[in-house]
Amino acid sequence: MRHNLKPVALLLLVSTVALNLLMVIVLTLTLKASHERKVAEVRTQVANLALLMDQSMTGVAREIGLILKKAQSHLELALEDGDAVTDVPLYDLIATSVGETVNIQATDVQGRVRLTSHTPERLGESHADRDYFRTHRADQQAGLLVSRLLQDQVTGDWVHVFSRRYNDPEGRFAGIVTAAIPSHLFTGLISGLDLGPKGIALVRDLDKRLVARHPPLDAPPGQTGSIGGSPELTELLESGAQEGIFYSDGTADKVPRTDAFRRLSALPVFVVAGLGEEDYLATWRHDVLRALLFGALFLIVTLGGATLLWRQIRTSDQANRRSQMLLRHASDGIHILDERGRLTEASNAFYQMLGYAPGELEGAHLTDWDLSHSPAERAELFRRTLQRGQTTTFETSYHHRDGHSFPVEVTTARLDLGDGPLLFNAARDITERKKADEDLRIAARAFESQVGMLITDAELRILRCNQAFCRITGYTAEEVIGQHPTLLQSGRHDQQFYADMWAAINRHGAWQGEIWNKRKNGEIYPQLLSIGTVSNDQGQVTHYVASLSDISARKATEEQMRTLAFYDSLTKLPNRRLFIERLEQALEIAKRRQGYGALLVVDLDDFKTLNDTEGYHAGDHMLEQVATRLIRCVPHKDAVARLGGDEFVVLLDHLSQHELEAAQQAEQLGQQILQELTRPYQLGPNVYRGTARIGIAFFGGRFPISSAEPLKRAELAMSQAKGTNNAIAFFDPQMQAQVRERSEIDAGLRVAVEKRQFLLHYQPQVDDRGELIGVEALVRWAHPTQGMISPARFIPVAEDNGLILPIGQWVLETACRQLTQWAGDDATAHLTIAVNISARQLAQASFVEQVLATLERTGAPARQLKLELTESALVHEIESIIDKMNRLKAHGVGFSLDDFGTGYSSLAYLKRLPLDQLKIDQSFVRDISSDGNSADIAHTIILLAERMQIPVLAEGVETEQQRAALHERGCRQYQGYLFGRPAPIEELESTLLTARTGPGYTVRENLPFCSPPR
């Protein structure tokens, strides 16, 4: 046997070696591919870093070139105006991101420095011996020149010199303007690169002199101006390549790197970006270590597996030789009988089963221990087994040596061993099984109890249910067996509920709780459910057992008790206790969303009188109707509660985040409630009319958020309402006044639109000679009792309620009719009228058609109409607005952008708008003489408009100092109290008439509104 196992051992050894060789090959190929990917990734990364350095330094070079171009232009303009070169303020020309580090100098025709931006001590220094000076003097088309790295003869600093020629008015050479760029500027540009611990960034000129290095190297090769470079870099440069990638390990700091270099087109330098090999291969080297560990582990596992398999083979060989011994020690009572029924051989378990020592019954007859079969039955059993060869299993009783008998199950079969047929018998003591069967019968009887029972298999298929289950659910056993228990689900529980339930069952083996299920007729009812698991000897779940009880009656009792505790028995509304709980929840919500909420306490007037005159039955009936009406007024029923007596409260917890809007919403609901409560009440045969008072208090925002405070404040406000003629009172009087004022304006505006209570005032717009060039139309509301109402009070309300549309159309129509009248007089035909257009008007799809129809209807000249837009009107649908403006522009209508600089418009859209005028907001004009920031902003707007060739007008000019400051900065059109306040058309035309009848009258010159500038 040992000799036959040798080939098996050899096969195991060869297989183990082959598997480990295959693993080594796979790991080697994987690591090689990973190394190649990492190197390719690093080559791309250093190329990107070199490109980034190229773009950064090229941007600086272009900016310096623009500075020199600007300096050249100013020098040549100064020479054309006859000014000296030394009068040009070079420092003002370099207010750029690199300007503070740049030294701008200008030389005369002999090369002497005549002008400098930073170092006046260098005036008189000569550049005549410099190559770039000679080149510019000889070549008029030289343009911008950039020197290689030079060492300043005075300071010793290393610099690149940018230079440009400038000419005298006859085009002759007049000198050069230069900018010396210190090398540390480039050091700053590359110092922010992410190069890793061993990375490097270099800038060298074309002579390989070091311009900048990051990180710095404290050694001679790291000094600015030193000549160096690895052999690989030198070879690439000499080949004439413009860019390339190389590997170097002979660098000055002895660090192997992968590098990329690029020649710069804008500067006589090249840049090098490198990443240290130690940095970028660190991860790969960790992978190599992990691969070695994995290979070692694989070797250990395969050797261990082969060893275990070899041991298993040897063990199986030994098991064959022990099979006879194991048979004799089997747990079943194995015994062999001859054809006459005598015992020839038996296992030890058989002797133990009968209480005898091994071998003690050998030769005994079957009748010595089997008491259940008669001689005829035994003869038939022997005949059937021996002649037919049938295997038979039957139950019988064996007699123990001590006198008691016990049930056994015997399996008998024919056995041929060459000496004649024998009976092979295996007997098993089934005492415990008989007891288990009896327990099952008892359990089956208990299964049919008054509690619903359900048994499923491990896949939750229903196997059995009892009569109580059928009575509770309405299903018969035939209808549910084989089905899934989900047919009982009511739909009231989400998936998370069932997930938690099964998690508890799987974790603890049981779950108990209340659940809503559905009967066969569709009725949903509460149920007390218990679920337990049944597991086999291996701990695997084989069955689930559930018991369930209908708890509808108990739930009804609990709900009744809850209703008595938390709800008003008469109106069925929440009582004070439940309302306080919901108020606390609303306070938390208001705090999280940073919004406002409100409480409205409603108290019925003269309710006690009703009770005294009509009786408590009528009072109760009215309270029920009040509750019903309140519920109809609010978003959801739970927002209304009865505090007691005739006092109710309404909770509003999702009001606006703006205080005034929230107050309006609360007051609007209060008015709705009052209107609903004043309707007649049918109290039996009588009709009763009642009134109520409402107190309103807010929470959230700046108001208190403790649960008791808002309710107390609302009750105080309700008490205030009872002491006045007002049906609604706010706890905050200021808010109430604001809401009332806004409501009055809203109501009054509707009347004003119907009765045409509006009129236009016109404010002059003049040029820098003081001549009238146009007016701005400003709407006023002539209220019959309050007098003139400022647009600041009614325009925002009109914007909110939509009345701005008819008001805006009336203003446009009135202004166009005025233009028609002026067009017939040569003295006024040139005047324009500016009309303000709101965002709502501009958003109308038919806005263009409305304007054109108004122009056609009134006969007004479109070129004299100017529509003023604010920047806030351009925030939304900018493309549609640009299209509308272009369509109107094609008909001659002009556009002005009002309040420029205070809104949200983008300069990218500004250049696309067909504007005829920019208006500087009065907030910048007001402080132009005292605030440098306002002056700078105004100047910037004027310069922007000048570059875009758009006229600019300043509004809000009230003093001569403001006008002078604006004029000095280039503004030529003005509007403000200095030139005239907004006035009715009669007053404006009276001024025009006076100007026309004065001495020396001409059409365009004698319309004075102020003295011309001195």
Contact (Cβ atoms closer than 8 angstroms) between residue 99 and residue 67: yes
Nearest one of 335, 367, 337 to 348, comparing CA atoms? 335
Q: Are strands 894-900 and 865-870 parallel, antiparallel or unpaired?
A: parallel
Provide the percentage of residues in the chain whose pLDDT is more than 70.
Answer: 88
Tell me, what's the pLDDT at 805?
93
Split at pLDDT 50, 70, 90, the class of 1011 is: very low
Residue 458 tokens read as: 């491990």
What is the C-alpha separation between 866 and 773, in angstroms, rounded? Answer: 12
Tell me, what's the pLDDT at 223?
83
What is the C-alpha separation between 931 and 923, in angstroms, rounded? Answer: 11
Tell me, what's the pLDDT at 734?
60
Tell me, what's the pLDDT at 576?
82
Which tens digit of pLDDT belongs to each residue from 211-269? 888 888 888 887 888 888 888 888 888 888 889 898 887 677 788 889 999 998 888 99
Amino acid of residue 477: A
Nearest one of 829, 834, 737 to 778, comparing CA atoms? 834
What is the C-alpha separation between 175 and 783, in angstroms, rounded? Answer: 73
Mean pLDDT of the 880-889 span: 92
DSSP 793-862: HHHHHHHHHSTHHHHHHHHHHHHHHHHHHHHTSTTTTT-EEEEE--HHHHH-TTHHHHHHHHHHHHT--G
pLDDT surpasses 90 at 780? yes
Split at pLDDT 50, 70, 90, the class of 1001 is: very low
Residue 498 tokens read as: 């069932």
User: For the domain 329-434, what is the CATH superfamily, name and number?
Assistant: PAS domain (3.30.450.20)
What is the C-alpha separation between 813 and 836, in angstroms, rounded? Answer: 12
What is the C-alpha separation between 308 and 304, in angstroms, rounded? Answer: 6
- The secondary structure of residue 952, as a DSSP letter, is E
Tell me, what's the pLDDT at 1012?
39
pLDDT surpasses 60 at 735? no
What is the C-alpha separation between 736 and 18, in angstroms, rounded? Answer: 93
For the ranges 323-327, 490-494, 841-845, 972-976, the maximum mean pLDDT occurs at 972-976
3-state DSSP assignment of residue 1001: coil
Residue 430 tokens read as: 């089934």
What is the C-alpha separation between 970 and 370, in angstroms, rounded? Answer: 132
Tell me, what's the pLDDT at 799?
84
Which tens digit of pLDDT belongs to each residue from 745-761? 888 888 888 888 899 99
More confident call, 446 vs 384? 384
pLDDT surpasses 60 at 998? no
Split at pLDDT 50, 70, 90, the class of 10 is: confident
Nearest one of 941, 800, 955, 793 to 868, comparing CA atoms? 955
Tell me, what's the pLDDT at 765?
95
What is the C-alpha separation between 115 and 112, in angstroms, rounded? Answer: 9
pLDDT surpasses 80 at 928? yes
- The secondary structure of residue 657, as a DSSP letter, is S
Tell me, what's the pLDDT at 1?
40
Strand locations in 887-975, DSSP E?
Answer: 894-900, 917-920, 952-955, 973-975
Residue 441 tokens read as: 């019968």
Provide the percentage of residues in the chain whose pLDDT is more than 90.
Answer: 17
More confident call, 45 vs 97? 45
Tell me, what's the pLDDT at 705?
58
Tell me whether the CATH fold assigned to 53-279 matches the one assigned to 329-434: yes
More confident call, 832 vs 434? 832
Contact (Cβ atoms closer than 8 angstroms) between residue 14 and residue 21: no
Q: Across the strands, what pairs with 412?
A: 392, 425
pLDDT surpasses 90 at 195? no
3-state DSSP assignment of residue 419: coil
Tell me, what's the pLDDT at 334?
83
Tell me, what's the pLDDT at 91?
57
What is the C-alpha separation between 177 and 166, in angstroms, rounded? Answer: 7
Tell me, what's the pLDDT at 1007?
40
Pick the CATH number of 448-556 from 3.20.20.150, 3.40.50.720, 3.40.50.1820, 3.30.450.20: 3.30.450.20
Write down the mean pLDDT value for the chain.
83
Which tens digit of pLDDT belongs to each residue from 124-140? 888 888 888 999 998 88
More confident call, 303 vs 816? 816
Tell me, what's the pLDDT at 1013?
38
Tell me, what's the pLDDT at 960?
92
Contact (Cβ atoms closer than 8 angstroms) between residue 227 and residue 170: no
What is the C-alpha separation between 780 and 794, in angstroms, rounded? Answer: 9
3-state DSSP assignment of residue 127: coil
Count other C-beta atoms under 10 Å from residue 330's C-beta.
Answer: 13
Count other C-beta atoms under 10 Å from residue 520's C-beta.
Answer: 14
What is the C-alpha separation between 982 and 845, in angstroms, rounded? Answer: 32
- Burial of residue 485 (CB within 10 Å: 0-12, 13-18, 19+) is middle
Amino acid of residue 935: A
Tell me, what's the pLDDT at 996?
46
Question: How far apart, in Å, do the first and last CA atoms of the chain sit?
Answer: 130
3-state DSSP assignment of residue 954: strand
Residue boundaries of the structural domains of the chain: 53-279, 329-434, 448-556, 573-731, 763-996
- Residues in Cβ contact with 764 at an 8 Å cutoff, skipping those fewer than 6 apart: 772, 775, 975, 979, 980, 988, 1009
Contact (Cβ atoms closer than 8 angstroms) between residue 176 and residue 155: no
Mean pLDDT of the 976-991 span: 90
Split at pLDDT 50, 70, 90, the class of 2 is: very low
Tell me, what's the pLDDT at 959?
92
What is the C-alpha separation between 785 and 601, in angstroms, rounded? Answer: 35
What is the C-alpha separation between 731 and 720, in angstroms, rounded? Answer: 8
Residue 577 tokens read as: 């206790």
More confident call, 121 vs 389? 121
More confident call, 866 vs 436? 866
User: For the domain 573-731, what is the CATH superfamily, name and number?
Assistant: Reverse transcriptase/Diguanylate cyclase domain (3.30.70.270)
Which tens digit of pLDDT belongs to each residue from 335-386? 888 877 788 888 888 888 888 888 887 888 877 788 777 777 777 777 777 7
pLDDT surpasses 90 at 658? no
Tell me, what's the pLDDT at 1000?
35
pLDDT surpasses 60 at 1004? no
Tell me, what's the pLDDT at 323?
47
pLDDT surpasses 60 at 479? yes
What is the C-alpha separation between 825 and 827, in angstroms, rounded? Answer: 5
What is the C-alpha separation between 165 and 141, in angstroms, rounded? Answer: 9
- The secondary structure of residue 983, as a DSSP letter, is B
Mean pLDDT of the 916-933 span: 88
What is the C-alpha separation between 717 and 183, in angstroms, rounded? Answer: 76
pLDDT surpasses 80 at 563? no
What is the C-alpha separation between 252 and 386, in angstroms, rounded? Answer: 103
| Alpha helices by DSSP H, 198-281 | 231-238, 277-280
The torsion region of residue 838 among left (phi > 0), alpha (psi -120 to 50) and beta comes to beta
Tell me, what's the pLDDT at 1014?
33
Q: Are strands 832-836 and 787-789 parallel, antiparallel or unpaired?
A: unpaired
Residue 170 tokens read as: 């006859």
pLDDT surpasses 80 at 607? yes
What is the C-alpha separation between 470 and 488, in angstroms, rounded? Answer: 12
Tell me, what's the pLDDT at 916?
92
Residue 293, phi then psi, degrees to nearest 5: -65, -40
3-state DSSP assignment of residue 211: strand
Strand locations in 466-605, DSSP E?
Answer: 510-518, 524-535, 541-550, 597-604
Residue written as token pair 């327990």 = 439
pLDDT surpasses 50 at 840? yes
Length of the chain: 1014
Tell me, what's the pLDDT at 812?
95
Pick the CATH number of 763-996 from 3.40.50.410, 3.40.50.10490, 1.10.1740.110, 3.20.20.450: 3.20.20.450
DSSP 360-404: TTTT-BGGGTB-S--HHHHHHHHHHHHHH---EEEEEEEE-TTS-
Tell me, what's the pLDDT at 92?
61
For the domain made up of 53-279, give the CATH fold.
Beta-Lactamase (3.30.450)
Q: Across the strands, what pairs with 271?
A: 203, 262
Tell me, what's the pLDDT at 781?
92
Tell me, what's the pLDDT at 773?
94
Residue 159 tokens read as: 């610099």
Mean pLDDT of the 82-88 span: 68
